[in-house]
Amino acid sequence: MAEMQGLMERLEQAVGRLESLSAGLHRPPGDCGEINGVSGGVAPSVEAFDKLMNSMVAEFLKKSRILAGDVETHAEMVHSAFQAQRAFLLMASQYQQPQEGPVASTASALSVLSVGPGLPPPPPPPGPPPPFDSEGRREESSPSRSALFAQLNQGEAITKGLRHVTDDQKTYKNPSLRAHGGQTPSPTKSHTPGPKCPQSHPPKKHAPVLELEGKKWRVEYQEDRNDLVISETELRQVAYIFKCSKSTLQIKGKINSITIDSCKKFGLVFDNVVGIVEVINSKDIQMQVMGKVPTISINKTEGCHIYLSEDALDCEIVSAKSSEMNILIPRDGDYREFPVPEQFKTAWDGSKLVTEPAEIMVSERPPNPLT
């Protein structure tokens, strides 16, 4: 089937050539005739375009028709576009090129307008703009700038307007002036007092609190109280002591944990704690353990004295960023004071750093004032 299609195409080409030769023998001189709908005797541009259509475009159409479908549809659209382009080239070749129109001038345009019936002559062009004295206006708008330039143009004479400073007004010769800020008020200027800083208001007074809130005992803002007692306690309860000063609190029974936060000159006496006792951001704290406590933590505190009982000697003391910490151990009916190290020495032993507390003298302390 493919061979038959090829033979048919070759036969069509041969027929076309024969028709061309036959038409060339019978047409009059100077006329190219018409072959397959293509007019002869055309312009060189149209002839070159026909060669393009008969070669590449014809080959494109032939192969697209074999593929059929969308390819064939697209090929027909391309063919239509080429035919429209050929018609445009043919029409353009049948008309002469327009001659060149003279260059219009302003005088000719004005003459045409003036000759026209019923049209008045155009108005004359406007004159030049009035001169603008920019320098004069600038000086009038800013007299201070003019005065500044005038002073600068004085040259060395500008120093004549400076005021002479006498010896009694010089700070390096009068130490008393430096004590008052180093400046002498000018007689030509009046000094007005500046706004005063707002006076600091006294701290707000809070009502003291000693109450059980859920599982937490709140002891807050107590001052000058040495009779504070919490007697009804349970194992699940905790105590939070906040901003109390010059007071003493006694906690009876067994409680989960105790926290002392931001207190000053505060004393605490408790029986048993199953968790931890913490001292945070406080100063001058005294604490006495009557029963047992596993851990006592001291952080950011200045002055903390802890009296341990016989049952609490296995308590662990954890401290950080604190000073003046002392642990008092019962000995023969009295207490012996052992300071907690605040200074440490570190040395390199050849393989690692070794840190040890500095030696502190051990001193005796009188009986506990809390009991």
pLDDT in the model for residue 273: 97
- Residue pair 42/51 in contact by the 8 Å Cβ criterion: no
Asked, for residue 262, whether it belongs to a domain, the answer is: yes
**Helix, strand, coil percentages, rounded to 5, for the chain:** 30, 30, 40
Asked, for residue 27, whether it belongs to a domain, the answer is: no
Q: Extract the tokens encoding 122.
A: 């155009």
| Together in a domain, 81 and 217 | no
**CA distance linking residue 206 with residue 210, whole number of Å:** 13
Helices (H), the chain: 2-26, 44-52, 58-67, 69-93, 106-115, 134-141, 143-152, 175-179
Question: What sign results for the dihedral spanned by CA atoms 327, 328, 330, 332?
Answer: positive
Domain holding 268: CATH number?
2.160.20.70
Please count the other Cβ atoms lying within 10 Å of the Cβ belonging to residue 286: 20
Asked, for residue 153, whether it belongs to a domain, the answer is: no
Asked, for residue 280, whether it belongs to a domain, the answer is: yes
**CA distance linking residue 213 with residue 88, whole number of Å:** 100
Gap between the terminal Cα atoms of the chain: 125
**For each successive 10 residues of the chain (371 residues), what is the average pLDDT?**
66 63 46 45 82 88 87 86 84 75 64 55 62 52 64 64 68 64 52 61 85 95 95 94 96 96 96 96 96 96 95 94 94 91 91 85 53 55
Range of the domain at 350: 209-357
Q: What is the CA radius of gyration of the chain?
A: 57
pLDDT in the model for residue 322: 93
The answer for 321, left when phi > 0, alpha when psi is -120 to 50, beta otherwise, is: left
pLDDT in the model for residue 5: 66
Asked, for residue 180, whether it belongs to a domain, the answer is: no
Asked, for residue 138, whether it belongs to a domain, the answer is: no
**CA distance linking residue 275 with residue 170, whole number of Å:** 70
Helix (H) or strand (E) holding 318: strand 316-320
pLDDT in the model for residue 53: 86
Strands (E), 173-244: 209-213, 216-220, 228-230, 238-242
pLDDT in the model for residue 92: 81
In Å, how far from its chain's centre is CA 56? Answer: 63
pLDDT in the model for residue 37: 44
pLDDT in the model for residue 316: 95
- Domain-terminating residue out of 85, 103, 130: 85
Asked, for residue 99, whether it belongs to a domain, the answer is: no
Instruction: Classify residue 97 by its DSSP letter.
Output: P
296 by Cβ neighbours in 10 Å (0-12 / 13-18 / 19+) ranks as: buried
pLDDT in the model for residue 148: 65
Asked, for residue 232, whether it belongs to a domain, the answer is: yes
- Residue pair 258/359 in contact by the 8 Å Cβ criterion: no
Q: How many domains does the chain have?
A: 2
- Residue pair 169/185 in contact by the 8 Å Cβ criterion: no
**CA distance linking residue 37 with residue 44, whole number of Å:** 18
pLDDT in the model for residue 195: 60
